[in-house]
Structure 1
């Protein structure tokens, strides 16, 4: 019997509200760190862990969550992730010691890993193929909105209420999202029928060690025994994971995914995009506070031409991708991003006015908006429908690795040339770091030229494997 039809708006709300909550919390805490430090008596190391405790399990468990969802039910795991995220948010809000907040943030990150990749997979399963590009475009806009308003919401809440409300706001939103997803979404599965426990452990531990090593690099030194052990151990674990996936008859990550040119190239573009863009945004958000003396809310508002534009542009790109092709939009978007970041690097001085930067910020926002939806569409179009979950999880993991690498590398470039003692000293470090970010995105633009001109189709091998392992999907909703 087919699943009941649901309006597209209801489906988008069911997958978009939880994803917005998760992406918002990735950045919302950053503007509250000075207040949290005072009220909890936290050290500088504690402040770093308030951020990293979320990022590390989030990045490490994305692929694992996608694989588990394929096997035990995507909707079931999605609902569990929303419920756990909501409970962890309440635990964050009631924390009275730094270790309590760090622990609750780690649980938030783990729960968020179950929400982010499955939101796209459930959306793809819930809408007819003729509406998928537009739906993915709107999904990309919602994702961009979470990134956009994170610093602004954090600054506004801290100035108007108390830092605890950053997390209390998630509780009613999480309850609403849980009910909406339970009522609107249908269950779906995909991939192999059996679990891959060794693959789960190797992938999660490997990604965790790599991201941890990258995060610790600027503070402990890239040649320190600690960082080398983390990076080397992570690389060894990931190598073991890839070997195991190659010989395992029912792998959690079919390596045949990367034999598809569309999926392989878009993954490389996603890494360069995340590393260059989010590494630059990390430093630019501080620029407005350190150099121009703005409060957190005002600094967040200054970034809105960049961070809000994807909410408008991404849905339009989703509508255009079927006409002009994903490659055209991604190449154009990456080129605009690279040019905008290099423009910002060239224009930044200790006395620069906002008017000299706002045009570059708007250009960067348009570039991001042109990139979000086509990349997601290309990921889904590259694989068989039963592999949507694992493909989405793999692509999101690569993007999160890019974020961690970008922030760490650009912070290292910054610290080698500048510091926080004065506005001039900060700009001395900012300019070369942002320049590196722009060049990384430019490299991604060149890589994007190798994307297929039309939506790729799954290879015969992929379809064969998928047909053998797939669990029948419910009839589409919407």
Structure 2
């Protein structure tokens, strides 16, 4: 951004530092404003611990600042092995004095870090002196303007406060947090939350406790002082940076630091930032060798997963109430089919836009908005008086669900290291499995004991609980992802064509099938293009990113087909009620949900292809076992045991595929990948139902099954079982294909650490 030259004053015998804005960025109005802002802000400060600005001007269109020259080095170059705690605390104390001076004049620095602390070399009679510099992103508390990012880091996230990362209002306690990080870094050689992935760093600042300093010469009291200065809640920090420095000095002397929070003086009231001040990127100048790994915020992930369970549970539950709905609303089969189609389109088509909105405004905000819309739609669906009102309510409900569904995977990618995403991906898979497999039973119980309306109204209190849990989730910073209207259009067109084509193929015939296939081709092209873009940011071929989504789509198609045949067999051949048939899926749901995080944990330790291929193989055994049971007319208990085995296989396959997908998604732009992977499952589910229904009808006709035959005749049962077993060959074949695709999975290579420091140093 800028270059600093050592120069001589043209009229006085003194050296000055001249900072010149580079020509390639001097035409950028935001960068130019940031550069000029530094001169304006620092000119208001007169303190020996702050580098002073002597003059400014423009030369050949390039702005320049003439600044005080401080001979020496900066604090980032200090070796922690030779830096004793007393010197580190003295440096921090001098910087704290300078910060208090700036704060008293209503100015926040917002980028306190070792690289911005100059150490004036000792001179005759003068000891080393710490001088604070680089007020390029400083802000006046009373100003209504806010400097924004323009593509480079506007604050180093390794030293940024939680409120700065969350976009909350700032006050001087934000600089105190950064100064606490700086003291830790001076003594440890790395920031308190150092990692190669910026998403891990952000998550650690938001939820992780401050680790103790790894030095035996540091008293425990100093760790307590740093922890208080870096409290997540600003109200729990010291009343000023000077008070923090005094407590640190007292801790070194063996005194007891102040532990009662001091109320912050109300003199400086911040104005809410109008634009988010931090853009994610590489954290320069820090050692990555011994950096502590950030842990995922498991509570936040589980809270967001609960919302996914509610949505999947509700969608599956409403399907079991359709016969009663049709009777009560005097609706035709076609109207009910369109109701399903509207619901599916509403939450599938906007997935990509929802994920991008999560990147832009934060996944927490979008999930809260989505849950609010979902609850309103659920209430409307439960109270609808006509099919028209019900269709509108389902569209609103689906739109809310679409806003929510990609956010969990996006947060997972941004907060969990790539090689530790297995358990988190298992939580994601468990949420989908529990909601999708237990939903039919919940819907059957609600419908049989009350009404089909209960399946919608029950989602209102459940959605409110999900809202409360999501409200407690920490906010992640907004990401500046480039707009992609073309991608949104292609994705939406592919989804609409696929869902509408296959969903209405029974009415549209060949046109519907052709439209559905065309939609799949469009989505395939979109997936390959996006995988290529992902590949540009991470090493490895683009197929690494596309294969997990393809395998997941195959799994969804096969699973939907198997569940369809499962219900047909239990209700038609075993003469079970819908409630008892759905109950047979509950053990599989529980086993899949419990086992998914466990298999996810193991997926981090083995080859990416091992568990998915094994899971697909076990599902194949389940499918062929079900085929044999249907043919031999064995008791239902045997099928329940086989279903439990299928639940274990599903937990293994689903979690390991989700983990493989999550490892390929970059944390700096997770939205597109999260939406694409989520859509892969939903599209597979949308395709599986119509395809298996058509095939089953075809096999019934091929066996000579006739609806005029005597219901209790053995011939009818034999023909029915034959058609079922022949149709089961399709999901079995798909599972074999899924195993083959899974065998091609590879672990992506770790991205190389970018070199260079994109931030500008004063000297």
TM-score grouping bracket, smaller chain normalisation: 0.7 to 0.9
Structure with bigger gyration radius: 2
Q: Is the 8 A contact 2:207 2:474 kept in 1?
A: no
Give the corresponding residue for 2:594.
312
Q: Is the 8 A contact 2:343 2:398 kept in 1?
A: yes
Listed one character per residue, the Cα deviations across residues 293-344 of structure 1 (whole Å, up to 9, x for unaligned) are 2222111111223333211210211221222233211111110011111221
Give the corresponding residue for 1:326.
608
Q: Secondary structure at the match of 1:185?
A: coil
Aligned: 1:457 with 2:749: yes
How far is 1:150 from its partner?
Answer: 0.3
Change (3 A) 1:409 1:334: same
Count matched residues: 453
How far is 1:60 from its partner?
Answer: 2.1
Looking at structure 2, the residues matched to 46 and 294 of structure 1 have their Cα atoms a distance apart, in angstroms, of 27
Looking at structure 2, the residues matched to 196 and 124 of structure 1 have their Cα atoms a distance apart, in angstroms, of 21
Looking at structure 1, the residues matched to 389 and 381 of structure 2 have their Cα atoms a distance apart, in angstroms, of 7
Q: Is the 8 A contact 2:608 2:660 kept in 1?
A: yes
Listed one character per residue, the Cα deviations across residues 354-411 of structure 1 (whole Å, up to 9, x for unaligned) are 1332332122111100012211211121132123222121111122221122212111
| TM-score relative to the length of structure 2 | 0.55
Looking at structure 2, the residues matched to 172 and 57 of structure 1 have their Cα atoms a distance apart, in angstroms, of 22
Give the corresponding residue for 1:386.
668
Give the corresponding residue for 2:236.
none
How far is 1:97 from its partner?
Answer: 1.3
Change (3 A) 1:149 1:237: closer
Looking at structure 1, the residues matched to 468 and 639 of structure 2 have their Cα atoms a distance apart, in angstroms, of 43
Looking at structure 1, the residues matched to 630 and 520 of structure 2 have their Cα atoms a distance apart, in angstroms, of 37
How far is 1:156 from its partner?
Answer: 0.8
Aligned: 1:363 with 2:645: yes
Change (3 A) 1:237 1:330: closer
Structure with larger RCO (C-alpha < 8 A, sep 6+) = 1
Aligned: 1:118 with 2:320: no
Looking at structure 2, the residues matched to 296 and 187 of structure 1 have their Cα atoms a distance apart, in angstroms, of 43
| TM-score relative to the length of structure 1 | 0.86
Looking at structure 2, the residues matched to 17 and 449 of structure 1 have their Cα atoms a distance apart, in angstroms, of 32
How far is 1:227 from its partner?
Answer: 4.4
Give the corresponding residue for 2:567.
285
Deviates more, 1:396-405 or 1:178-187: 178-187
Superposed CA RMSD:
3.0
What is the correspondence of 1:391-430 to structure 2 with a 5 Å cutoff?
391-418=673-700, 421=707, 424=717, 426-430=720-724
Q: Secondary structure at the match of 2:744?
A: coil
Change (3 A) 1:406 1:227: closer
How far is 1:151 from its partner?
Answer: 0.6
Aligned: 1:195 with 2:477: no
Give the corresponding residue for 1:10.
299
Give the corresponding residue for 2:314.
25
Q: Is the 8 A contact 1:253 1:390 kept in 2?
A: no
Looking at structure 1, the residues matched to 383 and 690 of structure 2 have their Cα atoms a distance apart, in angstroms, of 30
Give the corresponding residue for 1:206.
494
Q: Is the 8 A contact 2:425 2:662 kept in 1?
A: no
Aligned: 1:155 with 2:449: no
> Which of 462, 468, 474 is 1:179 aligned to?
468
How far is 1:101 from its partner?
Answer: 1.7
Q: Is the 8 A contact 1:82 1:177 kept in 2?
A: yes
Change (3 A) 1:343 1:219: farther
Give the corresponding residue for 2:33.
none
> Which of 439, 444, 454 is 2:738 aligned to?
444
> Which of 275, 291, 297 is 2:579 aligned to?
297
Looking at structure 1, the residues matched to 513 and 452 of structure 2 have their Cα atoms a distance apart, in angstroms, of 32
What is the correspondence of 1:211-360 to structure 2 with a 5 Å cutoff?
211-221=499-509, 223=510, 225-229=511-515, 231-232=517-518, 234=519, 256=536, 259-349=541-631, 351-360=633-642
Aligned: 1:71 with 2:360: yes
How far is 1:242 from its partner?
Answer: 7.7
Looking at structure 2, the residues matched to 304 and 49 of structure 1 have their Cα atoms a distance apart, in angstroms, of 29
Q: Is the 8 A contact 1:195 1:252 kept in 2?
A: no
Q: Which runs of 5+ in 2 are unaligned?
A: 1-160, 163-204, 209-295, 759-763
How far is 1:275 from its partner?
Answer: 1.0
Aligned: 1:46 with 2:328: no
Deviates more, 1:360-369 or 1:181-190: 181-190
Listed one character per residue, the Cα deviations across residues 405-442 of structure 1 (whole Å, up to 9, x for unaligned) are 22121111101122794573543432222211111011
Q: Higher strand share goes to which structure?
A: 2
Looking at structure 1, the residues matched to 490 and 743 of structure 2 have their Cα atoms a distance apart, in angstroms, of 33
Aligned: 1:95 with 2:381: no
Q: Secondary structure at the match of 1:96?
A: coil
How far is 1:235 from its partner?
Answer: 6.1
Give the corresponding residue for 2:26.
none
Looking at structure 2, the residues matched to 341 and 203 of structure 1 have their Cα atoms a distance apart, in angstroms, of 33
Change (3 A) 1:40 1:83: same
Q: Secondary structure at the match of 1:187?
A: coil
Change (3 A) 1:395 1:320: same
Change (3 A) 1:58 1:259: farther
